[in-house]
Structure 1
Amino acid sequence: MKWRDGEAGQGAGEGVHDRWDNKLVASLERELGENYAVRYPHMPCEDNPRYAAWKATLVSEFAALEDGSILVGHSVGGTILTHVLAEQPPKVRPAGLFIIAAPFIGEGGWPSDDIDDGKDLSQRLPPGIPVHLYHGAADAEVPTAHVHLYAKAIPHAVVQTLEDRDHQLNNDLSEVARDIRSLG
């Protein structure tokens, strides 16, 4: 029985879908159990992500979602997912947005030639969507300051900085799964 669909977005880098982020997806599937179906699309040019190409893939994936679907993104995939959701939300109403170790684009964060500044994300995201942000305190890829920049840009977000966890949250998404299940 499928209770709720979810969409999991990958990070960026050569082979990341099959060698890194698949471990996050496996953890999420294991922690959520069989009442959840996780979709994990392969993003184009993962070693050199471009917003337009990833946006096209995400918009296509959005078309397959049902009301109450949950969106999960990691690293650059989380950044792009958040911006696409703010720019072109799905026709259905997502139950929540869960972003892990995502770089913030804008002042104090990282620059981007093809992603807009994230300072006004709160006004652009679908109204009422719960947002959860996670970041490992031992993340050597994306500084922890980025999750705090997201917290300023999305004041209603629930923020968790996890001690002794790396960029992949040590391949343990138990907190994310717990929070997804709490949506009911």
Structure 2
Amino acid sequence: MKIKQVLFIHGGGEDGYIADITLADSLQKELGDAYKVHNPQIHFNDTLPDFGWLKQIGNEISSVKDDIILAGHSFGASMLLKYLSENRVKKKIDGLFLIAPPYWSGDEEWKQGIKLQKGFADKIPKDIPVHFYHCKDDEEVNFDDFLIYKQKLPRAIFHEILQGGHQLNNDLTIVAKDIRFLLKNS
């Protein structure tokens, strides 16, 4: 049996990688041995407009053999969306699973390299199923960002979760279930 490859991109902040190890572990546990969750640490480079994330994400996608499933949390989820809307990926992406991604807006200098381009939704390949997850009680990323994505990317599937905070109580059972369902029916 061929093992399905999942690339999980963690959230930002000083300890985003450490905080999200539990999420990646939860995803691996729920998906089981038929899947391999890759959880690389992405490093911030304050001298670059995108903090160096897009190049590192591209390298990580390229390093995974075979088809790939992409999942990301918070800042990492927003950077996955940016990467896919601005770069052509040659390998097959079976699905994109975005947990609590912020929608970057405003004129602050530091946001310019991480904001999505106008018309970003039209640049994401139509054959990639896209799922968004956001808890209504998230205190890190405003639930309004979820509603903006819902408006801008209506073809995606949106999972509104009542509680679980920014980390979904460190339980990605709902994401794993959707990944398994998607691949079972493809």
Tell me the TM-score normalized by structure 2.
0.89
In 2, distance between residues paired with 1:152 and 1:94? Answer: 23
Partner residue, 1:53? 52
In 1, distance between residues paired with 2:143 and 2:136? Answer: 6
Partner residue, 1:170? 169
The verdict on how the C-alpha distance between 1:140 and 1:48 changes in structure 2, with shifts beyond 3 A counting, is farther
Letter in 1 for 2:11: G
Tell me the TM-score normalized by structure 1.
0.90
In structure 1, the gaps of 5 or more residues are: none
Shift of 1:41: 1.0
Contact kept in structure 1, 2:5 and 2:66, CA below 8 Å: no
Contact kept in structure 1, 2:49 and 2:114, CA below 8 Å: no
In 2, distance between residues paired with 1:152 and 1:11? Answer: 23
In 1, distance between residues paired with 2:76 and 2:47? Answer: 12
Tell whether 2:10 aligns with 1:10: yes
Shift of 1:106: 3.3
Shift of 1:36: 0.2
Name whichever of 118-127 and 51-60 sits farther off.
118-127
In 2, distance between residues paired with 1:137 and 1:47? Answer: 31
Q: How does 1:109-120 map to 2 (within 5 A)?
A: 112-117=111-116, 119-120=118-119
Letter in 1 for 2:12: A
Percent identity between the two aligned chains: 35
In structure 2, the gaps of 5 or more residues are: none
Shift of 1:47: 9.2
The verdict on how the C-alpha distance between 1:117 and 1:64 changes in structure 2, with shifts beyond 3 A counting, is closer
Secondary structure of 1:183's partner?
A: helix
Contact kept in structure 1, 2:7 and 2:39, CA below 8 Å: yes
In 1, distance between residues paired with 2:99 and 2:48? Answer: 17
Partner residue, 1:148? 147
> C-alpha offsets along residues 83-114 of structure 1, whole Å, 9 cap, x if unaligned?
0111113210200000001101237xxx8221
In 2, distance between residues paired with 1:179 and 1:114? Answer: 31
Runs (4 or more) in structure 1 with deviation over 6 Å come to: 46-49
CA RMSD in angstroms comes to 2.1
In 1, distance between residues paired with 2:45 and 2:142? Answer: 21
Q: How many residues align?
A: 180
Letter in 1 for 2:29: R
